[in-house]
């Protein structure tokens, strides 16, 4: 696969740009993962399972509301910026304004709901602070411009300094024995600084400094294309975040702390399929716009094979090494996280399927189906949590997540005729390891002269 990527990059400038863009995004995440993992492990050890469970509960609760903020428009905005660069001011200005307004509503809704639930004072405070991050999502919308331009290096540079500074401050807070509220304020400040850095990076790189403009016509078109994705995004947030909310309610903060370590360590690797999809998607849109069905079909299959192969390359080794990794990194107090982590990381290939299929649905204008698929996944996750958490706790929540990912991102495709063929291609990609083993076996038979 590596040889094919390098050969394609050498043969085609567009492919070389994609590989370079992915490389920058991966380098950023790997560097931050190495640094951030050490800092986060230190933080998790510092607060202990119960307080980490409470902090993770606040972030998960807020995540249920901030899912509304992007309004499901990210992929649509990237598509339009790629198709119509001459309308960049209207597209980006309208998207940023809509996201900023949605962020204000999300903050008010999260704070109002946690007060209505009569949560403990510390939980209310943590939610009120961390929910403020939604107010900066409007400016963070400038990231979409970087994605459309495949400006991976510039995007990395815009975010890297802020995140490294955030890790340094977190270390200082740990050394100062700071309370949880201080870490929540740091989370909020990091969100604001990241959004500002993206805005400054955009202003420096844009060739035309025409002011951003609101377009009522584009807002209507954006809503028409994005409303199904809003429901899809909210449903994804539900089956990614609701498990921690339900686990805390049913089994307490300490059990959620055990599960939160498994989830945090597992979701740490989700950047890989997103980096691949972010870089390749504009190229797929361009292939479709050229009207070459054969080229588009080949590019789509290679996209599926590559992104799911990345998922296997990460999930299998981590699943096998989960025991020593959790024990060494997080300590004996988080030994109960091993089994939930193994189950949760097994869902990574299905996450890759969802990312890949989601881009295809946006390109083909079939986002309506994505709504029903993700709603089904959210319902399956909530139902699974109700059945499995009372009996198996954190492990039950992990199994519920795995099953909901498989249903929403893969199995659901066979129930909808227009994308059944794509589901078969995704299934072929999921069977990539089996195909590879068969190919090796066939090569071995030929080598030794067996029939």
Q: pLDDT, tens digit, for every residue of 47-64?
A: 999 999 999 999 989 988
Instruction: Return the closest-CA partner of residue 279 out of 371, 213, 355.
Output: 355
> pLDDT band for position 443 (50/70/90)?
very low
Give, in degrees to the nearest 5, the angle at Cα 277 between 415 and 78: 95
Q: Is the pLDDT of residue 76 over 90?
A: no
> Can you read off the two tokens belonging to residue 19?
């590989």
Let me know: does 87 contact 80? Beta carbons within 8 Å.
yes
The conformation of residue 347, written as its DSSP 8-state character, comes to: T
> Can you read off the two tokens belonging to residue 338?
């091993």
Mean predicted confidence (pLDDT) in 123-139: 88
Query: What pLDDT is recorded for position 130?
Result: 94
Query: What pLDDT is recorded for position 156?
Result: 61
- In tens, the pLDDT along 242-281 reads 899 999 989 988 999 999 999 988 988 887 888 778 777 7
The conformation of residue 207, written as its DSSP 8-state character, comes to: S
Let me know: does 123 contact 114? Beta carbons within 8 Å.
yes
> pLDDT band for position 6 (50/70/90)?
very low
Q: Is the pLDDT of residue 440 over 50?
A: no
Mean pLDDT of the chain: 81
What 3-state class would DSSP assign to 449?
A: coil
Q: Give the least confident one: 17-31, 268-282, 322-336, 390-404.
A: 17-31
The alpha-helical segments, DSSP class H, found in 176-292 are: 180-205, 216-251, 253-267, 271-289
d(CA 393, CA 383) in angstroms, rounded, equals 14
Query: What pLDDT is recorded for position 375?
Result: 86
Contacts of 172 (CB under 8 A, 6+ apart): none
Which pTM value belongs to this model? 0.74
Mean predicted confidence (pLDDT) in 324-339: 91
Let me know: does 232 contact 374? Beta carbons within 8 Å.
yes
Contacts of 345 (CB under 8 A, 6+ apart): 265, 266, 269, 314, 315, 318, 319, 322
Query: What pLDDT is recorded for position 158?
Result: 62
> pLDDT band for position 317 (50/70/90)?
very high
Longest dimension (CA), the chain: 74
Task: Taking each helix axis as running N to C, give the angle between helix 322-330 and helix 338-345, from 0 to 180 degrees, rounded to the nearest 10.
Answer: 120
The better pLDDT of the pair 350, 215 is held by 350
């Amino acid at each position: 696969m590596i040889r094919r990527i390098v050969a394609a990059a050498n043969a085609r400038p567009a492919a070389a740009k994609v590989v370079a863009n992915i490389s920058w995004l991966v380098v950023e995440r790997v560097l931050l993962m190495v640094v951030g993992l050490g800092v986060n492990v230190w933080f998790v050890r510092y607060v202990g399972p119960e307080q980490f469970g409470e902090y993770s509960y606040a972030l998960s609760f807020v995540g249920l509301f901030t899912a509304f903020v992007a309004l499901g428009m990210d992929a649509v905005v990237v598509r339009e910026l790629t198709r119509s660069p001459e309308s960049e001011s209207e597209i980006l200005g309208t998207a940023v304004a809509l996201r900023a307004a949605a962020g204000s509503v999300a903050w008010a809704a999260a704070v109002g709901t946690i007060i209505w639930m009569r949560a403990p004072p510390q939980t209310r405070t943590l939610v009120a602070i961390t929910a403020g991050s939604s107010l900066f999502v409007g400016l963070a919308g400038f990231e979409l411009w970087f994605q459309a331009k495949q400006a991976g290096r510039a995007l990395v540079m815009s975010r890297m300094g802020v995140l490294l500074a955030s890790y340094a401050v977190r270390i200082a807070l740990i050394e100062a024995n700071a309370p949880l509220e201080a870490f929540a304020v740091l989370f909020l400040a990091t969100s604001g600084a990241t959004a500002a850095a993206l805005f400054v990076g955009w202003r420096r790189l844009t060739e035309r400094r025409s002011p951003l403009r609101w377009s009522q016509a584009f807002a209507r078109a954006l809503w028409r294309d994005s409303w199904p994705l809003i429901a899809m995004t909210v449903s994804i947030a539900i089956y990614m975040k609701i498990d921690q909310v339900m686990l805390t309610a049913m089994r307490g903060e300490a059990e959620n702390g055990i599960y939160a370590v498994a989830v945090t360590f597992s979701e740490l690797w989700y950047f890989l399929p997103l980096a691949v999809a972010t870089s390749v998607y504009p190229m797929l849109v361009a292939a479709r716009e050229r009207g070459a069905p054969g080229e588009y079909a080949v590019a789509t299959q290679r996209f599926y094979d590559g992104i799911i192969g990345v998922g296997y390359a990460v999930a299998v080794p981590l699943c096998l090494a989960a025991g020593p990794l959790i024990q060494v990194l997080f300590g004996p107090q988080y030994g109960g996280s091993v089994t939930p982590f193994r189950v949760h990381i097994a869902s990574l290939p299905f996450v890759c399927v969802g990312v890949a299929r989601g881009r295809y649905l946006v390109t083909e204008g079939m986002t309506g189906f994505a709504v029903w698929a993700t709603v089904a996944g959210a319902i399956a996750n909530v139902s699974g949590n109700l059945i499995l958490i009372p009996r198996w706790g954190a492990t039950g929540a992990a199994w519920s997540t795995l099953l909901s990912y498989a249903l929403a991102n893969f199995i659901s495709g066979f129930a909808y005729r227009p994308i059944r063929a794509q589901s078969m291609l995704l299934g072929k990609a999921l069977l990539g390891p089996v195909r590879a083993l068969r190919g090796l076996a066939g090569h071995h038979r030929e080598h030794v002269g067996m029939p």
